[in-house]
Structure 1
Amino acid sequence: MILLSDPRTRRRRLGVAAAAAGLLAALLTAGPAVATPDPGDGPAKSKEVSKSARAEARTAIEGGEIPGVDQVVHSRNIEHLANIPKDALPGTNSDLAFQGRYAFAGNYDGFRIFDISNPKKPKTVAQVLCPGSQNDISVSGDLLFLSTDSSRSDSSCNSTTQPATEKSSWEGMKVFDISDKRNPRYVAAVETACGSHTHTLVPERKNVYIYVSSYSPNAAYPDCQPPHDGISVIKVPRKAPERAAVVGFPVLFPGEGPDGGGNPGGPTNPGVSKTTGCHDITVLPSKDLAAGACMGDGILFSIKDPERPKVIDRVQDNVNFAFWHSATFNQEANKVVFTDELGGGGAATCNAEIGPNRGADGIYDIVGRGDHRELVFRSYFKIPRHQADTENCVAHNGSLIPVQGRDIMVQAWYQGGVSVWEFTDSKRPKEIAYFERGPLSTQTISTGGSWSAYYYNGYIYSNDIAKGFDVLKLSDRRTDPAERVHLRELNTQTQPDYFD
């Protein structure tokens, strides 16, 4: 069923060189993991690896254990329809959003709009230069929202980098009018504490609420002071987006001390990130629920009152999770998949030495009712194909594939590629399809691969950090029913009720 040999038996050797060179020990004993790779406004820098790791990568390619440099491989049930290389925006490609026949692709230098009415031949409609990592992106009606998480000289798209120690520096949310897709218009900016690493929309008829996730406060940063134990909530009136403003900062981790009551991280919990905010939040508006991936904690909370979210349950995994990165509900809202971004997205963690439980997904059942619901751990899932030690690889952004009665999602794994996997049985997850490229290099670890991979109206779209925008077609009896589901808009962190 797959183009290469059975992934259960191949690539067992990869990763041994890393352990021999001491790289594994360095990874596991390092300080708190950082979040997604943050090279500022330029391309990520390559990092040297050991001679033994370079030799092992070359040997694995020659032996057919991994694909060659830039070689595309995939399971037989996936077809690679198109790739659109990066153009006027050379920075790191980031997240995706969708509306009608358009895809919106974030980039550390701005964003790009594609016409995907013919998925085999996507066309660039607009490219907007507006630097500010990481430019996490979403859309609602005629509005587009962009996160800025690098300290800038001002809120304009002509700003330059400036130290966060300066009070005049700016970070936060930008709002664009996209009623004319060919000419997006910048209409508002809202500064938020510690910037905006990611954001999540909670749309209403008259307003759009934005949950802003940010973290890592510092006493030396005037606009990012500890404790930073919650999220910023922005209210954007649809008919007057220029009046967008912060309406609250709900505390999610109340507690004593300079960092609030979140996970203390090391040395109490070695190798685990200290919780000083959230990395990403996914909301399920139809169920008034949200799941937060908050560095050292995973949380479940109610959003019945969108300005005052209420935490229902909180979990930690101080054995295998280093950095709680993102979350995905299943359709029935009785499961949540949390991702662990071990190594910050810039390390080689998909090898034999790291193993199947670290840098993986954690699958949790939601049990109970109302405010008494709890998150109960069931299993881990990690792609079964080991990667070279020159490939950054770890669990990253994904979305549900809407198949009624089954829990299936597609997910990005950086240079581990794109994986389609099923967790209908939350104790026994399994991969059913994949797409990946060979390493960018056999000499250095260069940040690349799929940042986000989402299913939208019959196709899978992936934003590759280095290689550009990919379109994939999945043909499998288990997922074919999803082709009957069509949405007018998709922001993956605002999960729709596909069968309402």
Structure 2
Amino acid sequence: MSAVLVPSASADGAPGRDDIDKSRNMHLVANIPKQGPLAAPNAYGSDWAFQGRYAFGGNYEGFTVYDISRPTRPKVVTVVHCPGSQNDVSISGNLLFLSTDSSRSDDSCRSVPKPATEKSAWEGIKIFDISDVRNPRYVKAVETKCGSHTNTLVPGKRGTAYIYVSSYSPSDTYPDCRTPHDLISVVKVPLKNPRAAHVVAEPVLFPDGGNPGDPPGTPWPNETRATSGCHDLTAYPDKDLMAGACMGDGVLFDISDPVRPRTITTVRDDENFAFWHSATFNNRANKIVFTDELGGGSAATCNAEVGPEKGANAIYDIVGKGDKRKLKFRSYFKIPRHNTDSENCVAHNGSLIPVKGKDIMVQSWYQGGISVMDFTDSRNPKEIAHFDRGPWADDLSVLAGTWSTYYYNGYIYSNGIQRGLDVIDIRDRRTDKAKRVRLDELNAQSQPNYFD
């Protein structure tokens, strides 16, 4: 695989901000910068959800609706200003769910920051009616313990959806987020009456407390975070399974009863995993790719000093049947390029590229760019495509890079922390069949069954 590097325009010979290093099969076809109140440097682009001709891009200051009916010419439909990190998004029918994981003065879109030490502070899930995408209506807020860092949609029966709310980092000084916090919140949403949404369960996932982690002062980059909740949950509703990336633990759950998720097996990697961050099943649900967010996304980990096994993906096979299933480690994968020490880079959010008989994933690596990984052979994953720009700044003072990159109806969509929307066309015989796959809706943390 050959690469194309646009010549640098910087005076010192280092890559410039707009330089592009990419494989020949990756083609940038569109970019739309962040808009209006969502354009500030601290208004980070975050997650994606897709429905029909629209893409919904989360941002720490709200969310943007894009018309992607012509992916090479996307258009901004509307910008909703509603501050509150992280503002991860999920969609079901006419409803959009927005995660708020920063302590706010109230649950409105006019709120301001307020210390979590104050009982009246608010964090949780916001629900919008998007039946008119040009004018989303805020209809309900549900407060959850420790807020909502991420959310995962699980379809229920009889017009119901369940939202699994992941949150962590409790403190006994926080009235609404005290220790121990070994749970998730399950929000039940009647889809035709979202104002009746409420927390229906708070299942404890780690009755033994989870991974105790390493003591403070453990030398970089060897510290493993203690488990105090989950960072991200990826459901595979068609298989009644869910993968949990829970700080110091990786977990496989049975979600046949959505209100009572049940642990099947747990795995740890205190040698190389600092922070179990996110997870992706392959389509057959016999593999899971877990990511390690070493440094919390703000550190330069894609370098020789950190090496190829930390801040990486870990690929596990699911072996056995039923409650005897186990997770067996097979390999690590990290982008095969070193970034500069001014670029925050680590494994982050991605999704499958649906090719029948193959396991291929596209993924964000912050300022490491976008990588496409073939993990069909779970012992020997390999990169088959990449797209990367030069450093955003001369140091790590500004968080940048791509936060979430997902494949939807023939194109790759990246939500850039600073750059906004990128649309990329991957043209490769190994992935071309995926262009024929069409979805009506995609929430990457609620994986569809593409083929079975």
Structures share a fold, TM > 0.5?
yes
**Counterpart Cα distance in 2 of 1:334 and 1:326:** 17
Structure 1 unaligned blocks of 5 or more: 6-57, 256-260
For residues 276-328 of structure 1, what are the alpha-carbon distances to aligned partners after superposition, in whole Å with 9 as ceiling and x for unaligned?
Answer: 00000000011000000000000001000000000000000001000000000
- The Cα shift of 1:100 comes to 0.2
- Aligned partner of 1:132 in structure 2 is 84
Provide the C-alpha distance between the structure 2 equivalents of 1:97 and 1:317, rounded to a whole number of angstroms: 31
* 1:73 and 2:21 matched: yes
Q: Distance in 1 between matches of 2:248 and 2:201?
A: 23
Note if 1:285 corresponds to 2:237.
Answer: yes
- Give the alignment of 1:349-364 within 5 angstroms: 349-364=301-316
Is 1:265 the counterpart of 2:219? The answer is no
Aligned amino acid, residue 31 of structure 2: N
| Secondary structure in structure 2 of the residue aligned to 1:344 | helix
Unaligned stretches of 5+ residues in structure 2:
none
Residue type matched to 1:405 in 2? G
**For 2:397 and 2:428, how far apart are their aligned partners in 1?**
34
Tell which deviates more after alignment, 197-206 or 338-347.
Answer: 197-206
User: Hey, what's the Cα distance between the residues in 1 that align with 2:330 and 2:395?
Assistant: 38
Q: CA deviation at 1:369?
A: 0.2
Distance 2:327 2:256 in 1: 19
**How do 1:359-370 and structure 2 match up within 5 A?**
359-370=311-322
Aligned-partner Cα distance in 1 for 2:395–2:90: 36
Corresponding residue for residue 206 of structure 2: 253
Shift of residue 486, structure 1, vs aligned partner: 0.3
Q: The residue matched to 1:299 in structure 2 has which SS?
A: strand
SS at match of 1:305: coil
1:142-167 deviation line (CA, Å, top 9, x unaligned): 00000000001100001110000100
- Determine the C-alpha separation between the residues in 2 that align with 1:446 and 1:240: 41
1:183 to 124, 131, 135: 135
Q: Does 1:2 align with 2:16?
A: no
Number of residue pairs matched by the alignment: 439
Equivalents in 2 of 1:119, 1:3: separation in Å?
24
Aligned twin of 1:216: 169
Percent sequence identity over aligned pairs: 66
Q: How far apart, in 1, do the equivalents of 2:65 and 2:15 lie?
A: 31
| Greater relative CO, 1 or 2 (CA 8 Å, sep 6+) | 1
SS at match of 1:481: helix
- Contact persistence 2:299–2:396 (CA under 8 A): no
**Other-structure match for 1:409:** 361
8 Å CA contact retained: 1:151, 1:161: yes
Between 1:265-274 and 1:392-401, the stretch displaced more is 265-274
Task: Tell me if structure 2 keeps the 8 A contact 1:73–1:435.
Answer: yes
> Over residues 392-443 of structure 1, what are the superposed CA-to-partner deviations in whole Å (9 max), with x where a residue is unaligned?
0000000000001000000000000000010000000000000111001234
Kindly indicate whether residue 116 of structure 2 is the aligned counterpart of residue 164 of structure 1: yes
Residue 69 of structure 1 and its aligned partner are, at CA, apart by: 2.4
Would you say 1:95 and 2:47 are equivalent positions?
Answer: yes
* Structure 1 Cα separation of the partners of residues 294 and 314 of structure 2: 13
Taking the aligned partners of 1:216 and 1:435, their CA distance within structure 2 comes to 34
After TM superposition, the structure 1 = structure 2 runs for residues 94-493 of structure 1, keeping only pairs within 5 Å, are 94-204=46-156, 205-255=158-208, 261-267=209-215, 271-493=223-445
User: Does the aligned pair in 2 maintain the 1:218–1:225 contact within 8 Å?
Assistant: yes
Q: Are the counterparts in 2 of residues 272 and 318 from structure 1 also a CA contact under 8 Å?
A: yes
Q: 2:344 touches 2:396 (CA, 8 Å); kept in 1? A: no
Equivalent residue of 1:242, what SS?
helix
Contact map agreement 2:233 2:279 (CA 8 A) in 1: yes
Q: Write out per-residue CA displacement over residues 155-202 of structure 1, whole angstroms, 9 at most, x where no aligned residue.
A: 000111000010000000000000000000000000000000001000
Return closer, same or farther for 1:444/1:225 CA change in 2, 3 Å cut-off: closer
Aligned equivalent of 1:54 = none
How far 1:3 sits from its partner (Å)?
2.8
Amino acid at match of 2:23: S
- Distance in 1 separating the partners of 2:436 and 2:355: 9
Query: Under a length normalisation based on structure 2, what TM-score does the superposition of the two structures give?
Result: 0.95
Aligned equivalents of 2:421, 2:241: Cα separation in 1: 31
C-alpha deviation, 1:475, in angstroms: 0.6
2:433 aligned counterpart, secondary structure = helix
User: Comparing 294-303 with 262-271, which one deviates more in the overlay?
Assistant: 262-271
TM-score w.r.t. the length of structure 1 is 0.86
